[in-house]
């Protein structure tokens, strides 16, 4: 499915009560809702966030749409732009699909092989002389001058997980970026730019590009992307709290991320590895949307309880291969809700989680 910028589907005008009497009608309504969501104009917005990291829209009884953000780039303490290729890589990996319309640093358009072994080599910093303002669709430095010997580290803070790429700029420069060589679906090895920053740096100046995973994201996604950027196997935590070595230097994603929910109100912490008393939603539908101009994914989950349930926390679990090829469940997102939502008895309650990059 592709998003056409500037087009807004007609909003729903009829109430969807009763549409959940059959699987066929349920799937039909999910498709209809997905088309409406492309316009980003919810009919009802009964819930809003406290900190700006998420929003919940209630479209109708038992139909909830959750928007999350919280992944940002920083250089010298200032928020920066993670470009389209970064979001294609991240969303493609956690959805185990091959994103379309990626662009190499040479300007070639290709499909990224995010459903399999994606990383050819380690990510690294680059510098250049270009001064044009950053844009989401940037695919290369405007005045590439060279690469920077780069170290990649990970840190766990009270309000974020941070993956840092650091080095010394060899000469005066006006722009920094992150490059990584990644496989395309035909086995080619294009180099992709994942971030770009315009500024002013002097020769031999120390620089760092930080990728911060803020609320509602937790250490699982930080650890995973740390391994992807380093092109090496890294230690990760299962949802039972034990650790394993993830195969992030090869085929790492054992399946698509899936929605979970809990009646427990779980206080967000970046080091969380699980949601207490979580249950999985039936994930009937998920897609990755957009072209290089917009990256987003929508993950749909259904749940039909015997009795009404008050849900206070939702999240994402993600199956990751260990180095023996065994799938291990990892928690990557925990969203505690300011106000509980209700899963109503004897109906297919629908949750749509949207991750929208731009």
Residue-range domain boundaries for the chain: 19-69+234-356, 71-213
Is the predicted pLDDT of residue 300 greater than 50, yes or no?
yes
The pLDDT score that the predictor gives to residue 74 is 94
Reported as a single tens digit per residue, the pLDDT across 337-352 is 888 999 999 888 989 8
Cα separation, 314 vs 299, whole angstroms: 12
Q: Residue 286: which pLDDT band, with cuts at 50, 70 and 90?
A: low
What pLDDT shows up at residue 26? 41
* Distance in angstroms (rounded) separating the CA atoms of residues 195 and 321: 27
CA-based radius of gyration for the chain? 21
pLDDT of residue 259: 96
Give the pLDDT score at 81.
82
Say what the pLDDT of residue 2 is: 28
As a whole number, the mean pLDDT across the chain is 85
pTM (2 d.p.): 0.86
User: Which of 26-40, 100-114, 264-278 has the lowest average pLDDT?
Assistant: 26-40
Residue with tokens 């970064």: 86
* DSSP single-letter state for residue 112: B
Q: Mind listing the pLDDT tens digit for each residue in 196-240?
A: 999 999 999 999 999 999 999 999 999 999 999 999 999 999 999
| pLDDT tens-place string over residues 12-29 | 222 332 333 333 444 444
Q: Which own/partner pairs from 236-244 qualify as long-range (CB within 8 Å, at least 24 positions apart)?
A: 236/320, 236/328, 236/330, 237/273, 237/330, 238/273, 238/328, 238/329, 238/330, 239/273, 239/274, 239/278, 239/317, 239/329, 239/330, 239/331, 240/274, 241/273, 241/274, 244/322, 244/328
| pLDDT at site 154 | 98
Segment 142-182, tens digit of pLDDT:
999 999 999 999 999 999 999 999 999 999 999 999 999 99
126 preceded by cis ω (within 30°)?
no
Confidence of residue 358 (pLDDT cuts 50, 70, 90): low
């Amino acid at each position: 499915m592709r998003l056409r910028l500037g087009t807004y589907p007609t909003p729903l005008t009829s109430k969807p009560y009763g549409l959940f009497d059959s699987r066929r009608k349920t799937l039909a309504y999910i498709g209809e809702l997905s088309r409406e969501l492309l316009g980003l104009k919810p009919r009802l917005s009964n819930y809003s966030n406290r900190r700006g990291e998420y929003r919940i829209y209630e479209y109708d009884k038992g139909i909830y749409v959750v928007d999350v953000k919280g992944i940002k780039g920083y250089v010298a303490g200032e928020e920066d732009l993670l470009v389209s290729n970064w979001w294609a890589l991240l969303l493609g990996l956690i959805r185990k699909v091959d994103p379309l319309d990626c662009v190499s640093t040479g300007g070639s358009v290709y499909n990224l092989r995010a459903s399999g072994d994606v990383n050819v080599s380690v990510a690294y910093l680059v510098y250049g002389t270009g001064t044009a303002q950053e844009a989401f669709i940037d695919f290369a430095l405007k005045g590439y001058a060279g690469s920077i010997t780069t170290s990649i580290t990970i840190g766990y803070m009270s309000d974020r997980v941070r993956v840092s790429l650091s080095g010394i700029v060899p000469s005066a420069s006006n722009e920094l970026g992150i490059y990584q060589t990644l496989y395309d679906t035909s086995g080619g090895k294009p180099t992709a730019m994942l971030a770009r920053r315009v500024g002013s740096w002097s020769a031999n100046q120390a620089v760092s590009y930080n990728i911060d995973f803020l609320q509602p994201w937790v250490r699982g996604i930080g650890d995973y992307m740390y391994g992807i950027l380093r092109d090496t196997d890294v230690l990760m935590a299962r949802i039972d709290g034990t650790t394993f070595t993830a195969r992030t230097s090869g085929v790492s994603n054992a399946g698509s991320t899936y929605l979970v929910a809990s009646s427990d109100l779980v206080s967000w912490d970046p080091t969380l590895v699980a949601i207490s008393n979580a249950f999985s939603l039936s994930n009937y539908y998920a897609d990755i949307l957009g072209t290089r101009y917009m990256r987003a994914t929508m993950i749909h989950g259904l749940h039909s309880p015997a009795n009404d349930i008050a849900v206070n926390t939702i999240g994402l679990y993600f199956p990751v291969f260990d180095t023996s090829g065994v799938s291990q469940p990892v928690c990557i997102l925990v969203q505690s809700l300011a106000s509980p939502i209700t899963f109503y008895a004897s109906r297919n309650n629908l949750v749509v989680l949207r991750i929208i990059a731009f």
